[in-house]
Amino acid sequence: MKTAKKAKDGPAPLYLNETEIECTQTIDVLHEDPNLLVLTSKYIDVIWDGVALAQKEGYQIDTMISYVVSRTSGSAVDTNLLVAMSK
């Protein structure tokens, strides 16, 4: 996967072998090297698009973790999913 430079008005698009992942505002690459890829998203259904593309490139799911994020005390919380994959 590669990440283009961040645009002024939003996050940078994500690519897997020159194929842009749709819904780029909803999937973040936390770590990438030739053997490890870590994706996260607060949209559980959307992250699987990125996982499916990574699997086509030979990555396999090692672990999945869901976690809760709260911006400020009393605000709504988001449940995020982190997926770690390796070759």
pTM of structure: 0.65
Is the confidence at residue 22, as pLDDT, over 70?
no
Question: What's the pLDDT score for residue 35?
Answer: 93
Question: What's the pLDDT score for residue 5?
Answer: 39
Q: 49 versus 24: which is more confidently predicted?
A: 49
As a whole number of angstroms, the longest Cα–Cα distance in the chain is 42
- Contact between residue 23 and residue 10 where contact means Cβ atoms under 8 Å apart: no
- Residue in 58, 40, 42 with CA at minimum distance from that of residue 50: 40
The residues that bridge with 63 in the sheet, in sequence order, are: 84
In the numeric block, the tokens 């995020």 are attached to 80
- Contact between residue 38 and residue 74 where contact means Cβ atoms under 8 Å apart: no
